[in-house]
A and B are shown apart, each in its own frame.
Chain A
Amino acid sequence: MSLASASLDHASHRDGVINADALRADARRESRGMFALLSPGLFLVFAVIIVPIGWLFWLSLFDESGQLSAANYARFFDQASYIKTFVTTFKVAFTVTGACVLLGYPLAYMLSQLPRRAASICLIFVILPFWTSVLVRTYAWLVILQRKGLVNTWLMDLGVISQPLPLANNFAGVVIGMTHIMLPFLVLPLYASMKTIDADCLRAGMNLGASPAATFRQIFFPLSLPGLASGLVIVFVLCLGFFVTPALMGGGKVIMWAMRMEQTTSLYSNWGAGAALGVVLLAVTLALLGLFHWLLGTRATGVWSER
């Protein structure tokens, strides 16, 4: 009887020897068993992520006197410091995403062109940083970029500059550090999608007389766009909520969204305001992911229908 569900398809095409009720009961038991396997994980996620976030959302709807109000959200529009935080966050996110594309596309393209063995060796250079602590990498960039850091010392020893360049504790430092952390998130999906591009499409283009450059521009590049888009979205979304690098490398001058949330809740204990910031951040994140999922769906099929 325990195997009845496995042979359900098969049996139903035969005759009605097996009792349909027994089968259904068995399928229900199977479903219950599977749900039992899922439930501990689902419960933890629900308790530690969904419940607190729902709770924070509820809190964000009340002002300090406990009245239902939109005060926590209204201040995003009238307080200059909040507006500045949002502008800074989006500026960093756009700059880092742009830098990741400029650095990541050539690397992913090179990896996709290498023989399998060489590519898997070069991939280590992407995967190792990916699995190295964000804190370690931020520390490394602090050491490299600070006032008396490696870059400034070298450039001054070489006589290129006489004054140290302001590379850390500012916008530039945050962007460099974050680009290093985000780059693998762009390269890995992009490389994976480039590997699936059918070589026959490229050969067909060349057979029809396209130059290598035209083959790249008209066939390879468009086919790599879905992978590029998914890498882009992930990087952008991660940048919006990123905390460690701006907190350590921003020198207190580059206040990003996540830092603002930490200050509002930890420093000022203003849970309503912090929660409202979190709700908007989550909404923007989910909206962007949803939008790109929708766009990507159509674009991906558009690309593949050209085959």
Chain B
Amino acid sequence: MSMENALPISHAQRLWLYALGGLVMLFLIAPSVIIVIMSFSDSTLLEFPPREWSLRWYESYFGSLEWRDATIVSAKVAVMTAIVATLLGTAAAYAINARTLRLTGAINALLTASLIIPVILIGIGTFFLYARIGLNNTLTGLIVAHTVQALPLVVLTVLSGLRSYDMNQEMVARSLGAGRFSAFFQVTMPQIRFSIVSGALFAFITSFDEVVVSLFISGGETTTLTRRMFNALRDQIDPTIAAISTCLIVLSIVLLSAAQLFGRGR
């Protein structure tokens, strides 16, 4: 019994468990692997494994103005969302952690509402609101809507960082004469920077991958990558999307690994 809570089941049972768990893991990872491999196929038919290899679908992705514009829109929105959501989310998490306010329950519920409220309702509601104030099909509108969706992730990530940090250190700095802001930036922030950076990365992915709200509020020159992909998928299955999907998968891996690396540097 060296493992923490291992049940001493028989070898046969353990084998069954591992086989079953392995199959479920295969189910989870196989679609991404298949798409990555197929994106290098030379065929317009979706065959697996591909008989001929080529980069033609990547050329078709990078060569198309429409896809490139959509990617640039998504990247701009995601960077801005990450910045705004991280600033607002970190400030909010700091305030919640200080526990000087009443109604913390209501504040938490409000800040994390977008995780629970059906996205379709947020999409329709945002479209309805934006139609009145002229924010539909604008970058600002997209950034605001994505920030609201990314905010809970930043708040929760930073809050968990703050919970494992001893706030008395900031108090000591302030008692030694540091101002409120310099105490935060010189003492607290270096110690919770992992959570802040993770929060920012999560905010970036959330925005970059967001589909439903973008379907309603983006269009024309501000069509996001996901919106264009969604529309392309409704019509036909274009292998170019396999190349784009591979890029998105790689982006997720890179961002997750970055968050992991920051975790180790803590």
Contacts and interface: CB of A to CB of B under 8 A. Distances in A.
B237 A142 contact: yes
A47 B123 CA distance: 13
Interface stretch (B20-28, B65-73, B185-193): B20-28
Say whether chain B's binding surface is mostly helix, strand, loop, or mixed.
helix
Given A136-B245, A261-B121, A199 B95 contact: no
B31 A44 contact: no
A68 to B, nearest CB: 20
Interface residues of A, number: 99
Interface string B43-72: 001111000000000000000000000000
Interface string A97-138: 000000110110111111100000010011111011111111
Interface in B177-212: 180, 205, 208-209, 211-212
Contacts of B88: 40-41, 44
A296 interface: no
A256 to B, nearest CB: 10
Interface of B: 1, 3-10, 13-14, 17-18, 20-21, 24-25, 27-29, 31-32, 34-35, 38, 45-48, 88-89, 91-92, 94-96, 98, 100-101, 107, 110-111, 113-114, 116-129, 144-145, 147-148, 151, 155, 171, 174-175, 180, 205, 208-209, 211-212, 215-216, 226, 229-230, 233-234, 237, 241-242, 245, 248-249, 252-253, 255-256
Given A38-B101, A143-B35, 17 more contacts: A6-B174, A37-B95, A44-B88, A45-B111, A45-B113, A45-B114, A56-B124, A103-B24, A113-B17, A125-B25, A141-B31, A180-B27, A183-B28, A184-B28, A248-B230, A258-B118, A258-B119
Interface of A: 2-3, 5-6, 27, 30-31, 34-35, 37-38, 40-42, 44-53, 55-56, 103-104, 106-107, 109-115, 122, 125-129, 131-144, 146, 148-150, 153, 180, 183-184, 194-195, 197-199, 202-203, 206, 212-213, 215-216, 220, 237, 240-241, 243-244, 247-248, 258, 261-262, 265-266, 271, 274-275, 278, 281-282, 285-286, 289
